[in-house]
A and B are shown apart, each in its own frame.
Chain A
Amino acid sequence: MLHIPKHKLLSLLEHASGSWQVFCPSRQGPTVNFGWFEGMVDPDLIPVNSCKGAFLPQTEELFTYRGTPETGLSLAAGVDEQKPVLVFFARPCDARAFTLLDRVFLEGEYADDRYKNRRARSVVVTVGCKSPLDTCFCTAFGIGPDSKAGSDVFVYDDGTSLYFEPLTEEGAGFVSSHSAYLTEGGTPVSVMEELRRAELPLAGRISVEGMAEALDSMFDDPVWEKMSARCRGCGACTYLCPTCHCFSVFDAPRGVRGKRYRSWDSCQFSDFMLMAGGHNPRPTRKERVRQRFMHKFNYSVKRQGDYLCVGCGRCIRACSVGLHAASALFDLKEAGRCKGC
């Protein structure tokens, strides 16, 4: 397998950023975050946020407009960067999450142009997790530290070198176009073994077996009231989640010109479903928390055949009051058991 010493990774990415928009982890103060490459990369720690920003930026211009009665109205579509997107050092959970987002944005009657353009020529380079965090539970969803789904290249990190295993044509293309930085090496057998045997302390406590079916009859269960009592109503869980994808469209008028853009929105915000006229179908945290977990563990299974969760544990790290996918699955199972499900 082709490989590169870890200390040369930065020069590889600097070269890559000539022809790619590179999205990778870097340390920023006390946390490591995924973001657009700005000359730094931190390959070792799992970032607090997800990679979805590579294909669905938090704020994105849709078009600008300009108009007066004399000149009439003219629109100019938002321009996308020409360089294709390279997601570097995604984790297997992130890569799998891309395939779930693809279902939302690419399949069905309407494909999202902006997402599609970014996704079309993208390459996802995923690194295996030798040290899963104690908030990781990807195995509950059939993903693991060495899962390949959604990746174009899989990287094995043996501590001193990174080994690149191309999985798709696009991945092979990326690797060969950077062969100047890579040398032929052996197969990182010990890393492969480590990944196979990596233990997730949390995964043993969580199971989603039968969850989607059980939730069919739990819409009015008192568990939602109890669970949501501690929710602070912020958007931390949804914004850090690799599969959450809601957004809202806004206008910014400035006299004769303006801009329309879209930004992430969170179903946990109190005004998420607030309608003109004042009606709010999800008036309290109970309805909103229920919505979040029903969407992830029931509705998306029924609509698309998959749980909309990859067990990355980011919501566990994000939530300051311990209300997250793992605690929810645990509480829902308990509540289901009590009903004799």
Chain B
Amino acid sequence: MNDLREQLREAVASAFSQGRVRSFVCLEKGFYPFASIPAILHSGSEADRVQLGLSDAPLLAKYLLDAPKPAGIVVRQCDALGVSRLIRDRRVKREDLYIVSVSCPGVVDTAKIPVSPYQITALENAGDALLVHTALGRTELPWASVLLDRCLSCVSGSASPDADVVLEGEKEKLPAPVDYSGIDKVEHMTPDERYAMWEKEFAKCIRCFACRNACPACSCRKCSLDLAEPEWLSPAVTLPEQFMFHFTRAYHVAGRCVGCGECERACPVGLPLMKLNRKFTRDIETLFGVDDARIPRDVEVLGTFLPDDPEEFC
């Protein structure tokens, strides 16, 4: 892994020295143990800040919006989907980007380790398990049980082929299908049960917009829900307004969601936001014969039609 990190740092440094980039979006070490945080580098001399982000790594794609162009970015597959989303939404141009793709075995979620990060001396990826080293000894946890939720339905852990630089590590995450069981559960409830359930969830929502701001599919310069005129969303935080917010955001993202789950990870009060987005993703796949609606396409599913689309209305 250290070797991969050195390769990455070299790639970043040489991108600057060759004049390919004016800035570089990457991960660096955070204040909190094992937390990776986003960083925007402005010169090759900062390359030693670059980390692989083996745990608690946020998605980086959206930082491209404000990064001085041409901008470099380090991506794993989930990030690559986010970047692709921004390119297809015409928010960044591919020719303004320098993409370094790294393969990824999955990102550890330290919240799933039953030990405080301050107690951990080292985290070691050992095949199918994570070894957690502390002063008192060593615990072994199954690899799948400690990953970020999004890693459990990874599109593919391998490095993206149309990057400018491709760095293959020793391990990569195997692709895994999306788990729709949470959606099924809601679909089997009665309408009143569903409404009561969502009321209970939305009552926790504090309308901080962390979900929207974290989402690579939400990149409008002025979000329609922020407008005062017309006022689609009242600033009053009442339950009916929460339905309006979450319905609208899920609908605007429908068909464009890349399944990264940053919305859910960013939510400070634990709303099951992917239960909303995945409902749209699955319906779109089922209704319109799409293989994996998370993969950005040149023409979005809801931006087109077929003359022989399913006909449910009469």
Do A and B interact with each other, yes or no?
yes
Partner pick for B269 among A49, A233, A238, A322, CB 8 A cutoff: A49
| Residues of A that sit less than 8 Å from B by CB | 28-31, 33, 35, 48-49, 58-59, 134-135, 201-202, 229-230, 232-236, 238-240, 248, 250, 252, 261, 263-266, 269, 271, 316-318, 320-323, 326-327, 330-331
Interface pair B238/A59, CB less than 8 Å apart: yes
Interface pair A326/B118, CB less than 8 Å apart: no
With A and B bound together, what is the CA distance between A277 and B269 in angstroms? 36
Interface pair B268/A240, CB less than 8 Å apart: yes
Within 8 A of A (CB), among B37-56: 37-40
Of the stretches B123-131, B150-158, B170-178, B200-208, the one at the interface is B200-208
Q: Which residues of chain A are within 8 angstroms of B169 by Cβ–Cβ distance? A: none
> What mask results when residues 190 to 222 of chain B are scored 1 for a CB within 8 Å of chain A, else 0?
000000000011011011111011100000000
CB distance from A221 to the nearest CB of B (A): 16
Q: Which residues of chain A are within 8 angstroms of B235 by Cβ–Cβ distance? A: 59, 248, 250, 263, 265
Minimal Cβ-Cβ distance residue in A for B265? A320
CB distance from A243 to the nearest CB of B (A): 16
Interface pair A327/B116, CB less than 8 Å apart: no
With A and B bound together, what is the CA distance between A327 and B117 in angstroms? 16
Interface pair A58/B206, CB less than 8 Å apart: yes
Interface pair B204/A250, CB less than 8 Å apart: no
Most buried by B among A35, A322, A330: A322
Partner pick for A48 among B58, B226, B236, B268, CB 8 A cutoff: B268
Given A49-B268, A327-B32, 4 new contacts (CB under 8 A): A234-B266, A236-B266, A264-B237, A327-B31
CB distance from A23 to the nearest CB of B (A): 14
Interface pair A48/B269, CB less than 8 Å apart: yes
Known A-B contacts A29-B272, A248-B235; A320 and B266 likewise in contact (beta carbons under 8 Å): yes
Q: Which residues of chain B are within 8 angstroms of A236 by Cβ–Cβ distance? A: 206, 208, 210, 266, 268
Q: Which residues of chain B are within 8 angstroms of A28 by Cβ–Cβ distance? A: 200, 203-204, 269-270
With A and B bound together, what is the CA distance between A263 and B236 in angstroms? 6
Within 8 A of A (CB), among B1-40: 30-32, 35, 37-40
With A and B bound together, what is the CA distance between A252 and B237 in angstroms? 13
Partner pick for B213 among A58, A233, A252, A261, CB 8 A cutoff: A233
Interface pair A229/B38, CB less than 8 Å apart: yes
User: Is B262 interfacial (CB-CB < 8 Å)?
Assistant: yes
With A and B bound together, what is the CA distance between A55 and B303 in angstroms? 47
CB distance from A67 to the nearest CB of B (A): 20
Partner pick for A235 among B39, B201, B209, B272, CB 8 A cutoff: B209
Partner pick for B35 among A48, A322, A331, CB 8 A cutoff: A322
CB distance from B44 to the nearest CB of A (A): 17
Interface pair B270/A31, CB less than 8 Å apart: yes
With A and B bound together, what is the CA distance between A35 and B214 in angstroms? 26
> What mask results when residues 251 to 270 of chain B are scored 1 for a CB within 8 Å of chain A, else 0?
00000000000100110111
Q: Which residues of chain A are within 8 angstroms of B40 by Cβ–Cβ distance? A: 229-230
Minimal Cβ-Cβ distance residue in B for A320? B266
Interface pair B37/A29, CB less than 8 Å apart: no
Interface pair B234/A250, CB less than 8 Å apart: yes
Interface pair A58/B31, CB less than 8 Å apart: no
Q: Which residues of chain B are within 8 angstroms of A248 by Cβ–Cβ distance? A: 235
Q: Which residues of chain B are within 8 angstroms of A58 by Cβ–Cβ distance? A: 206-207, 237
CB distance from B46 to the nearest CB of A (A): 10
Q: Which residues of chain A are within 8 angstroms of B39 by Cβ–Cβ distance? A: 229-230
Interface pair B208/A234, CB less than 8 Å apart: yes
Partner pick for A239 among B37, B58, B117, B206, CB 8 A cutoff: B206
Known A-B contacts A48-B269, A322-B35; A235 and B208 likewise in contact (beta carbons under 8 Å): yes
With A and B bound together, what is the CA distance between A320 and B35 in angstroms? 10
Q: Which residues of chain B are within 8 angstroms of A135 by Cβ–Cβ distance? A: 32
Most buried by B among A59, A269, A321, A323: A321
With A and B bound together, what is the CA distance between A272 and B116 in angstroms? 36
Interface pair A232/B118, CB less than 8 Å apart: no
CB distance from A126 to the nearest CB of B (A): 23
What would be 11 A-B contacts, judged by CB atoms less than 8 Å apart?
A: A29-B201, A29-B270, A49-B206, A58-B207, A230-B38, A230-B39, A230-B63, A233-B209, A234-B210, A239-B207, A250-B234
CB distance from A232 to the nearest CB of B (A): 4
Partner pick for B268 among A202, A317, A323, A330, CB 8 A cutoff: A317
Interface pair B236/A322, CB less than 8 Å apart: no
Within 8 A of A (CB), among B222-243: 226, 234-238
CB distance from A241 to the nearest CB of B (A): 11
CB distance from A316 to the nearest CB of B (A): 7
Minimal Cβ-Cβ distance residue in B for A268? B208
Known A-B contacts A201-B118, A235-B209, A316-B32; A321 and B268 likewise in contact (beta carbons under 8 Å): no
Q: Which residues of chain A are within 8 angstroms of B35 by Cβ–Cβ distance? A: 322
Known A-B contacts A234-B208, A236-B210; A59 and B272 likewise in contact (beta carbons under 8 Å): no
Interface pair B237/A320, CB less than 8 Å apart: no
With A and B bound together, what is the CA distance between A316 and B33 in angstroms? 12
Interface pair B31/A326, CB less than 8 Å apart: yes
Interface pair B236/A59, CB less than 8 Å apart: yes
With A and B bound together, what is the CA distance between A49 and B237 in angstroms? 16
With A and B bound together, what is the CA distance between A264 and B209 in angstroms? 13
Minimal Cβ-Cβ distance residue in B for A235? B208
